[in-house]
Amino acid sequence: MTLQERYGELSSLESLLAGCYSGTGGVAVVSGPVGSGKTELLDDLADKAASAGVLHLRATGRKADALVPLGVLTELFHSTELRQAARRVAELLDDAGSGGTLGESGTTPPPRLMHGLTELLQDLAAQGPLLITVDDCHYADAASVHCLTHFVQSLRSTRILLIFAESDHAADRHPRFRTELLRQSRCRWLHLWPLSADGVAAMVQPELDSRAAPAVVDATGGNPLLVRALLADHRQAARPGATRDDQEPAIGRAYGQAIVSCLHRVRPAMLAIARGIAVLGDAASPRRLSALLDLDVDAVTDDIREMELAGLLGDGRFRHPAAEAAVLRDIPCAERMAGHREAARLLHLDGPPATVVARHLVAAGHANETWAVSVLREAAELAEVAQDVDFAVACLELAAQACGAGAQESAVTLQLARAEWQRNPASAARHFDGLVDALRAGDLDRGHVGTVARALLWHGEHHAAQEVLTVAAEEGGADAAVRVHVVREQLRATYPEVLPTALQGRTPPRSRLGQQLRAASALTAVLTRGAGEESIAVATEVLRDAALERADLESIEAALLTLLYADRPDLAAPHCARIIEGISAGQAVTRRTGLLALQAEVALRGGDMAGAERAAREALQLLPPRGWGVAVGSPRSTLVRVLTATGRHAEAADQLAQPVPEAMFRTRHGLLYLNARGHHQLAENRLQPALADFQACGQRMRDWGMDVPSLVPWRSGVAAVHLRAGDPERARKLIEEQLARPGGTHPRTYGSSLRLLAAASDARHRPGLLRKAMEGLQACGDRFELAHTVADMSHAYQVLGELGRSRAMAHHALQLADECRAAALHESLLRQHPQPREKPAPAEPEATAAGNAAVLSEAERRVAELVSLGHTNREVAKALFITVSTVEQHLTRVYRKLSISRRADLPVFQQLHVAEAS
């Protein structure tokens, strides 16, 4: 089918063909860039000629046959339409090809051949119009061109139309032939340009939405061959079962092959330039290509312009990454690697960013130049900042092959280990024995001791970690001692048994090192003395200015842990989410998994069981078990706590059946694991194993000087065991002891402790304790624990015979349980307090409260909140320093505004208020 924008050229050729009927022959030249549709135009004309009964002789020049004498001429006259003249043609061609009659150069055919074939054509024209087409005539052999020139000169007045198609890039290949064509006054010259945007839209419209046309133009430059290849890719992508978006055309294999095919049809210098552009990528320029290929820069510029006109390039670059990739694949391997090697050398002299040069070195697999190692190391650092860990590792692996021994080798190995660590700590472990030796020998800067020590501790190599820290502090001078002091302070929170005390060192200035010490010290203070305002302020400041560079990661984690163990998951959660969002999921895997594990613990302590499970599972899936080292205790313990709390005990048991390193139990991660395992044992009513886990956790915390309940409330676990065993007195003493500990009054710890204390206390004291517990849990936002506390309040009222309040609290607890997906609690409450199948239509207190809560004054809201928590009017008056009469007046207005008539409906309002504040 003729392209919309080729009808004018086709009509022009048809008019020349029509002239043959009146005895007027003609000559036409169809030119244009490679792939512009010249062959298609000739085929369309041939179809018209065939339908009119016109005899058509055709031939095509081929690059591979350009040196075969008379190749094109032989193809032209071996047409099936010339059966009757076959013997005559054969005799002429055989005579020309034998006996050296083509001349010494093989380019000059004998006069007998030219005259004989001319007479044959005249005889054929006498019988009717004759169409002769030679496609890609620039590839015709010299002898054939000589004959074609003779035909042009001799057949002017016959009924013969001669059409020659040539590509712009080779128009000067046969100058004598072209000169003769130019001399023909009746020769018609037709040039095919790439399609316009409208032409492309018309071409793709049957298969693609017209809105896709601009994207097709961008990728093809209007080159019809490339457009057809793109459509082929789109059809492949739209095969049954595949997704398809008509506004985004698929670009794939056919498109790349078409680009390569076009380039193999141009002259060798243009192909070399195109390959050079593919090798250099964004760094390509005429000057650099000239140097890379040893070509004249003006000639390079001209050839680039010609390829741009053909639609193969745009602004000196390939129009789509698929084109560049296809051209790179087409370059023979040895030639491609040599090109990258030379490109690296040229670019290094020009001084572009190290990553640009390093990509060529990596692609070449070669870094023997003296400058290459430093470039590769710099590029790796930049890649790590950009979270392109795979490229960083590739750079450093190449640098390791090329670097010298001693300090340079140790520095490269450390950098490689650090980069590999981000993908999988297990694979990086192979480097650290050599790095320990380098530290001992003085071949590694003491400033890197923290990296080595952390890796050793991660994999449970405690003695080696202690040794390198000691060596670095004692033999590295004053600055090294300060660095070791900071590293120890950072590590103590996780490895307190291995690093029980920090080495003394002078306080660093307010620099990055000073910031790291402040963050680590704030965490240490929370874990040893409980949270203070200063620690929370330091953590908030660190996170506010937090960057994601590797050097700041320890400070970020320390700040998040400070907020978490200060019972402020509400403050930690948004920072955690923001930082994780900025980490590449496919590259900085270890960094992401560590923060996901932390996010899971934050969500758990905030009562978000679904979020905690999601983050913990993602973290465990991203790294293989060996890669986690001792840190596996954190995400696994969170997952066990979630599964236990939501009643999925078999799944929790499966998680606990997974092996963990023995060294984990000497770390903070081990505390979390013991606590989680204890709660699972308790849920399964295995009291003795549960008690052993809780007590082991407590013993470690006391030994490490970290007996802070906001870290792990192990006394709560022991107390729960005693309650289950029927010994509330021992449980009560443990909880009272826990409340007296540093951090015991932090909101979440306080609330959960009071809930247990209520269970261990006389029934008449339980509501008061549970009200205070609810206040603390509301303050920290732990909906899950709050739901259980409200359920306990319902039970407490039931025991006291206050059934109305019990039902109201049960209704409130059901709502909370439903929100935080506490399925086991929800089912338990429904068994105890069956709900009516249908609620009366007029009574919708939830909707009424939601619609009118905003109209309450601040004083009315405070009264309503306290009453909804079960406080009496007298208790409310005492708490707010107002009279009982004032409380009653506020309540009357609250009832009217919320369209309720009794205190029992207030828990619905209170729950709505919590939702607004969260």
pLDDT confidence band for 914 (50 / 70 / 90):
very low
What's the pLDDT at 100? 47
Q: CA 212, CA 195: separation in Å to the nearest integer?
A: 15
What's the pLDDT at 839? 42
CB-based burial, 648-675: b 16+ in 10 Å, e otherwise: beeebeebbeeebbebbbbbbbbbbbbb
Q: Dump pLDDT digits (tens) for 733-755.
A: 999 999 999 888 888 899 999 99
What's the pLDDT at 843? 39
* 344: CB partners within 8 A, 6+ apart: 357, 358, 360, 361, 364, 372
If phi over 0 gives left and psi between -120 and 50 gives alpha, with beta otherwise, what is residue 62? beta
What's the pLDDT at 22? 81
Closest CA to 757 of 787, 785, 783, 730: 730
What's the pLDDT at 918? 35
Q: Dump pLDDT digits (tens) for 643-670.
A: 999 889 999 999 999 999 999 999 999 9
Long-range contacts of 773-778 (CB under 8 A, 24+ apart): 774/869, 775/751, 775/869, 776/747, 776/748, 776/750, 776/751, 777/747, 777/748, 777/751, 777/752, 778/914
Least confident residue range of 249-258, 380-389, 514-523, 900-909: 900-909
pLDDT surpassing 90 at residue 607? no
- Going through 786-861 in order, the beta strands assigned E by DSSP cover none
What's the pLDDT at 838? 42
pLDDT surpassing 80 at residue 788? yes
- Going through 180-255 in order, the beta strands assigned E by DSSP cover 187-191
Q: What is the 3-state secondary structure (H, E, C) of 405-474?
A: CCHHHHHHHHHHHHHHHHHCHHHHHHHHHHHHHHHHHCCCCHHHHHHHHHHHHHCCCHHHHHHHHHHHHH
Please compute the mean of the pLDDT values over residues 832-838 and round it to a whole number: 59
Q: CA 794, CA 887: separation in Å to the nearest integer?
A: 24
What's the pLDDT at 904? 63
Q: Would you call 221 helix, strand, or coil by DSSP?
A: coil
* 696: CB partners within 8 A, 6+ apart: 674
Tokens of 910: 């209170």
Tell me if 891 sits within 8 A of 852, measured CB to CB. Answer: no
* 332: CB partners within 8 A, 6+ apart: none
Q: CA 160, CA 153: separation in Å to the nearest integer?
A: 12
Closest CA to 793 of 815, 776, 773: 773
Q: Dump pLDDT digits (tens) for 328-345.
A: 999 999 999 999 999 999
Least confident residue range of 193-197, 269-273, 541-545: 541-545
pLDDT confidence band for 637 (50 / 70 / 90):
very high
What's the pLDDT at 184? 84
Please name the residue ranges forming H helices in 447-568: 449-458, 462-475, 477-492, 512-529, 533-544, 553-565
Q: Dump pLDDT digits (tens) for 141-193.
A: 999 999 999 898 888 778 999 999 999 887 677 888 888 888 888 899 999 99
DSSP letter assigned to residue 188: E
Q: CA 460, CA 70: separation in Å to the nearest integer?
A: 80
Tell me which residue has tokens 């900085």. Answer: 588
* 722: CB partners within 8 A, 6+ apart: 728, 730, 731, 734
pLDDT surpassing 70 at residue 105? no
pLDDT confidence band for 511 (50 / 70 / 90):
low
Tokens of 139: 């590839």
Tell me if 394 sits within 8 A of 362, measured CB to CB. Answer: yes
Instruction: Indicate the Cα dihedral angle 360, 363, 364, 367, nearest 10°.
Output: 70
What's the pLDDT at 97? 63
pLDDT confidence band for 908 (50 / 70 / 90):
very low
Q: CA 25, CA 22: separation in Å to the nearest integer?
A: 9
Tell me if 313 sits within 8 A of 330, measured CB to CB. Answer: no
Tokens of 424: 């999988």
| Predicted TM-score of the model (pTM) | 0.72
Amino acid symbol at 249: P
What's the pLDDT at 510? 53
pLDDT confidence band for 548 (50 / 70 / 90):
very low
- Going through 175-232 in order, the beta strands assigned E by DSSP cover 187-191
Q: Would you call 101 helix, strand, or coil by DSSP?
A: coil
pLDDT surpassing 90 at residue 561? yes
Least confident residue range of 93-107, 599-613, 643-657, 708-722: 93-107
What's the pLDDT at 840? 40
Q: Would you call 404 helix, strand, or coil by DSSP?
A: coil
Q: CA 455, CA 472: separation in Å to the nearest integer?
A: 16
Q: In DSSP terms, which residues pair with 59 in a beta bridge? A: 134
* 713: CB partners within 8 A, 6+ apart: 738, 749, 752, 753
Tokens of 623: 């790294």
Q: CA 164, CA 160: separation in Å to the nearest integer?
A: 13
If you write DSSP's letter for every residue of 40-86 in order, what string do you get?
Answer: HHHHHHHHHHHHTT-EEEEEE--GGGTTSTTHHHHHHHT-GGGSTTH
Tokens of 821: 């997906």
Q: Dump pLDDT digits (tens) for 679-710.
A: 999 999 999 999 999 999 999 999 999 999 99
What's the pLDDT at 11? 94
Please compute the mean of the pLDDT values over residues 245-271 and round it to a whole number: 87
Q: What is the mean pLDDT of the chain?
A: 86
pLDDT above 70 as % of the chain: 90
pLDDT confidence band for 547 (50 / 70 / 90):
low
Question: CA distances (Å), 485 to each of 280, 300, 497, 578, in order?
Answer: 48, 61, 16, 30
pLDDT surpassing 90 at residue 677? yes
Amino acid symbol at 473: A
pLDDT surpassing 50 at residue 842? no
Q: Would you call 189 helix, strand, or coil by DSSP?
A: strand
* 739: CB partners within 8 A, 6+ apart: 745, 750, 753, 754, 757
For the chain, how many residues are written?
Answer: 918
